[in-house]
Amino acid sequence: MQPPSVHVSVAQITTAQPAPDETTFAALAHVLQTVGWFIAPLIILLVKDRSKFVRFHALQALFLQIAYTLIFGGLMTAFLIVVLLSGPATSGKNPPLALFLGFPILWLAMMGSYVLVLVLAIVYAARAGRGEWAAYPLIGRLAARVAGVALP
């Protein structure tokens, strides 16, 4: 005779109220990504890997930082390609015109994306602190799938 198996569905997990320490760690994963880049959510993910609530929120913060890094790298690469393809200046003393035209655009794009990450981190940290299973736009569904959580 086999012992009875304990089966908890994913839907039951999402409706359960997380413990206070889980909400704290989930909120910290969001807030600390602003100063700790991807390392802070990764550490929280590794420390509290048994909590689906913390895993879900830490994965969201981690995926957001990965996306931010890819966007940053893509913008920098595009900027460098444009500057290098603009050709040398007519005299060796003057820098390429694309450097002066492209840098403000690059700077605005980078500051805009950083402000977006900062706002997302603050808003979702507050929601995680209240115990909500709030998902980032676009990234939240992927994090839920990886964490094994069903979102409504």
pLDDT at residue 89 in the model: 55
pTM: 0.79
Amino acid identity, position 26: A
Residue 2 has a CB neighbour count (10 Å cut-off) of 4
Q: How far apart are the C-alpha atoms of 94 and 91, rounded to whole Å?
A: 6
Question: Closest by alpha carbon to 52, among 121, 152, 148, 128?
Answer: 148
Give the domain ranges of the chain: 17-147
Q: Which residues are within 8 A (CB) of 54 and not within 5 positions of it... i.e. 6 or more apart?
A: 18, 22, 25, 26, 29, 44, 45, 48
- 60-111 pLDDT per residue, tens: 999 999 999 998 899 889 888 887 877 665 556 677 777 788 888 888 988 9
pLDDT at residue 148 in the model: 87
